[in-house]
Amino acid sequence: MGRPIPIVSQEQLNECLQLREATARGETFLGMETYRQKQDGSKVIVSLSAAPLYGDNGSVSEIVVIFQDITAQKRAEAALRQLNERFQAAMQAVDGIVFEWNLPENSVYRSEGLFQLLGVKPEDADPTREWWADRIHPDDLIYLQSKLASLASADRYQDEYRVRHQDGSWVDVWERGCLQRDEQGKIIAVVGFTTNITDRKLALSQLQESEERYRYLVESIPQLVWTAGIQGNLLDVNQRWSTYTGQTLAEVQAQGWQAIVHPEDLPELGACWRAAQQTGSDYQAEGRLRRCDGTYRWHLHQAIPIAGECGQIIKWFGTATDIQDRKQAEAALRDSEEQFRNLADNAPFMVWVTDPTGYCTYLSQSWYEFTGQTEASSLGFGWLKVTHPEDCESAERAFWQRTIAGNRSAWSTACGALTASIFGRSMLLARDLGLAVNTKVMWVR
């Protein structure tokens, strides 16, 4: 009693004096944690126990103090606590649970994520394999049981199945587990992770439905349909393309669309396609495509860029529409118009064409020779300038009464143009929705 306490720093001296005084009064201390300073100045965590020793007279004569260095133990506890905190944080961040199934004891640990996954708190769930198995969809349970035999020689497994939520709905889950064995190779535990993939499965199902609708659409429309990558390489075509061209998908991807384009049309189509790619604008051009029998037919080629989430072009969607009949009709119309102009320009009378309002769209060559007007001054309503003022009213009245009223019979009148008397005759050529759309008039001198 009264002797200095060894390895006690000045700042711990008061603690030691209080401990000595309390022990001298008969108090006992067990496992009190504190720290002490070593000879080299470093600090250590110690477990301190102190008890009084009594003399013959019944008073405290000595104090027994035991110091145990627990620095390594406390550091290990701190590391374990930090690791557990990280584990719990990780468990809160994932949409699923971590489990451990002890096979000899048939006990199962499930993390807090069970409530988020199935709406059941871990403490309310029976910690057995059977509790979980009862919640698995019957169809999936049969499937999983059929795979148990294959796990005998495996170290890991993964699978997808459905589990019943507390509200009665089915949750799609993905599970991955690791099998632990004893020295004899017997499975003694399964540690794994189960996560909710319902949203992913729903998105996948919707994507499949969308792809089915897209495929139905591209196979039902009369156009040749294709998709291309950002470099212009063909990725996919519909069956109508293959039927028309005779190409398989592999041939299309290897040869490209250029292989079936008419050589005369290839430069223009190529230039239009490159311009669309460079600007990201819609693509449109006309060109001939070779049919499987070697025949070329005119097609209208159109494509639009498909943008990704960030706005960048990820592919092109295009069609080729057969316009061979339209091209032939246009050619026939051009031939017909050329024949009409040849006849009209060489006829011994003047021929002109107007719309229902009297707006002139064509005058034969004999008109210009007779009136001295130019095409610019006579088309439209310029022809009225050469009609004699006294004859305008009667000619106009006859024109409107017959032509605009829709009478398909010819009408005729006589009027003066410049200094000559002429005889006019017209006939309604076509009607649309009950309105006259074009008339032809012959003015005979």
Residue 277 is predicted with a pLDDT of: 92
In tens, the pLDDT along 35-56 reads 777 777 778 888 878 888 887 7
Pairing label, strands 29-37, 43-54: antiparallel
- Specify the range with the lowest mean pLDDT, choosing from 85-89, 302-306, 324-328, 428-432: 428-432
Residue 141 is predicted with a pLDDT of: 92
- Rounded Cα distance between 96 and 118, Å, is 9
Residue 92 is predicted with a pLDDT of: 67
For residue 261, what are the β-bridge partners? Answer: 289
Residue 1 is predicted with a pLDDT of: 40
Residue 437: closest CA among 351, 381, 361, 342? 361
Mean pLDDT of 381-404: 70
- Rounded Cα distance between 101 and 90, Å, is 20
In tens, the pLDDT along 262-273 reads 999 999 999 999
Residue 41 DSSP label: S
- Rounded Cα distance between 161 and 159, Å, is 7
Provide the 3-class DSSP secondary structure of residue 112: coil
Tokens at 428, concatenated: 């309604």
Mean pLDDT of 401-409: 56
Q: Position of tokens 């004859």?
A: 391
In tens, the pLDDT along 224-249 reads 999 999 888 999 999 999 999 999 99
Which are the contacts of 178, defined by CB distance < 8 A and separation ≥ 6?
155, 156, 190, 191, 192
Expressed in angstroms, the distance from the first to the final Cα of the chain is: 153
Residue 418 is predicted with a pLDDT of: 45
